[in-house]
Chain A
Amino acid sequence: DAGVTQSPTHLIKTRGQHVTLRCSPISGHKSVSWYQQVLGQGPQFIFQYYEKEERGRGNFPDRFSARQFPNYSSELNVNALLLGDSALYLCASSQEAPMNTEAFFGQGTRLTVV
């Protein structure tokens, strides 16, 4: 079975641009969460979606948005990119309604803003 897949694996953007990151959860998983990992730090929670509805949002500006599609895949969008948005963006999927079930992580998208 395929694990959590994220695309692209790497990308470089210029300040002020917009970026879309994509995530496909493990088959059968209905919950997707997004995390930002800045170099040298632990991942920080950005969004959680379950059954296509937003269930939670971390302390990130409105430039960050996300959505989940009927097939449970998800997109993370970031507008007006800043240098500080450079990070590894991780997607995690879990099987059921968020109740302490194990989260499986993708390998991430490395975003560099120049």
Chain B
Amino acid sequence: GAGVSQSPSNKVTEKGKDVELRCDPISGHTALYWYRQSLGQGLEFLIYFQGNSAPDKSGLPSDRFSAERTGGSVSTLTIQRTQQEDSAVYLCASMRQEYNEQFFGPGTRLTVL
């Protein structure tokens, strides 16, 4: 079966522009997570969706970051007015709640010039 997919795989943008990153989770997975990974660093939690519950936004670094999940499936992470420090790999993961094992996508590499 298909795994978690993310698009685009690479995104280069200019400072100040807005970007949208997309995540298609595994069908039937109710939980969806966004993380980011800076060069040589571990993963940093950003936001978590679980079913119809209010998302856990506690990891979003600023109000320039937002995410939504439509219809309990696809999710979009939006970064407004991008800054150079936003450059990182943005990883999405999904999970079936009863298994506690997160399945990660390949990530989107964002470069802000």
Chain B binds chain A: no
Task: Point out residues on B near A: beta carbons under 8 Å.
Answer: none
